[in-house]
Amino acid sequence: MHDTPDERKTSSLDTSADESPKLQVAVVGGGIAGLSVAISLLQHPGVNVQIYERTKAFREIGASISLGPNGLRTLEKLGVENAIDGSVCSRQISDYPMIYRHWRTGEVIARDLHRTVKTKKHFTARFHRAHLHQALLEHVPRKIIHMGKKTVSIVADREEGVTLTFEDHTTAKADICIGADGIHSNVRKTFVPDHTLRRTGWTAMRSVFDASLVKDINFPEDASHWIGPDRSFFHSNIGKGMFTVVGGLHTDPNDLEDTVQWDDEYSLDIFRELYKDWHPAVRSLIEATPYTRLYPNMAGRALDTWTFSQRVTLVGDAAHTHGGAFAAGGSLAIDDAYALFLALNHVWPAAMAKSRKPTVEQLAEVFRLYEATRKPHIDKILGAVHLQVIGHKPKMENDDIETDEMLEERVRNRPDPSWISEHDVESAFQNVIGAKELGLIKIPSKLA
């Protein structure tokens, strides 16, 4: 990753002193969600963005990440062509975004389908997270990124704006603040302190490594999700000569003796033992895996609102703690960012920005439109997470062992994920505007 500019040694990072009428936006978090917000909002000529990232440097770390057609389409609309180019990611050779295989026989049980996708560049793509992050970073001016800025306090005032205080005792002021700081968001905790996360009962064993380590192994070339009675296995190329394997294991989310933490190292011997009876291709891929780390899945309830004091709102995992279900987190964050831009540009278009900043009432309308566009879709996803994912484990009468027929029926009856992966955020926004103008819906006023 490229280095960012050195921080000024000052007790204040006041970004609101600009004499221009530009809207000053503080983005908390410099990950995929935060960079997407910056890229989106900087499409508007009346916006100035500053990003505050808690880490001191961006590093080549992280696991794999998938973007569906929804996120890829949005990146294309934002001009981020380098992030959807085949040189930085991997797509299926076939047209199936996901292939499901029987854990022991390798037989293809089912396939997901693209329903509305017209071009290969919008087919589901898989990345190393760091490579996607770098592709986004190329579209963000380095001077607006402030590293080593862990937020410890956010004060939002309806009339005065937002003041952020950081762990290094510096401060920053802005007109609005966007919390893009992930599932453990400090911004969310500030305004919704009683929101809690809990384990879903699903733990991933994830590894990313050089694809040359598996070049002599005979395994299906397309990414596949191998399904067993109580665990699963996923493998895929992820672009730029990298490869990932992901084991998935159902555990008891209420087990008090389970002290596994995010990113803990895991024994390769135990990893191999878990799949010792699986198909030879799975066993060979695990044998070639140089390390693995644990990621216990967490999720939380849907928030009543993402917006606070007409000055602060949330995007990505900070807004919707869905725990990465449906491999949708990256695309959801990108679409959140674009929806926020669409709302801002609708309420406060470029022509209006030449003379003044948006009023408090206009900001409230921006946030109302943003939530009306995104929250119904997100809440539906969270509902699916709680019904189908949290604590899910196939349950058979009298604790019977799941037969092959039962397993195959379970997989074939899975929900079709295309309503998530192919959701059109721009159409959703236009539907909200159209319905509002026709008086068919009333945008909730609780944000006021």
The closest alpha carbon to 201, from 257, 273, 254, 246, belongs to 254
Beta bridge partners of 248: 204, 232
Q: What is the pLDDT of residue 397?
A: 47
Please give the radius of gyration of the chain, using alpha carbons only, rounded to the nearest integer. 22
Q: Which residues contact 202 (CB under 8 A, 6 or more apart)?
A: 248, 249, 250, 251, 296, 297, 323, 389, 392
Kindly report the length of the chain.
448
Q: Which residues contact 161 (CB under 8 A, 6 or more apart)?
A: 16, 24, 173, 174, 175, 176, 311
Q: What is the pLDDT of residue 441?
A: 65
What residue ranges define each of the domains in the chain, with the CATH number in brackets?
23-393+402-438 (3.50.50.60)
Q: Which two tokens stand for residue 291?
A: 């390390």
Q: What is the pLDDT of residue 387?
A: 62
Q: Which two tokens stand for residue 5?
A: 């500019």
- How does pLDDT run along the chain (448 residues), one tens digit per residue? 444 433 433 334 444 444 458 999 999 999 999 999 999 999 999 999 999 999 988 876 668 999 999 999 999 999 999 999 888 999 999 989 999 999 999 999 999 999 999 899 999 999 999 999 999 999 999 999 999 999 999 999 999 999 999 999 999 999 999 999 999 999 999 999 999 998 888 889 999 999 999 999 999 999 999 999 989 999 999 999 999 999 998 877 777 667 778 788 999 999 999 999 999 999 999 999 999 999 888 888 899 999 999 999 999 999 998 777 677 889 999 999 999 999 999 999 999 988 899 999 999 999 999 999 999 999 998 887 766 554 444 444 445 688 999 999 999 998 899 999 999 999 999 999 998 887 766 665 444 4
Q: Which two tokens stand for residue 12?
A: 């204040």
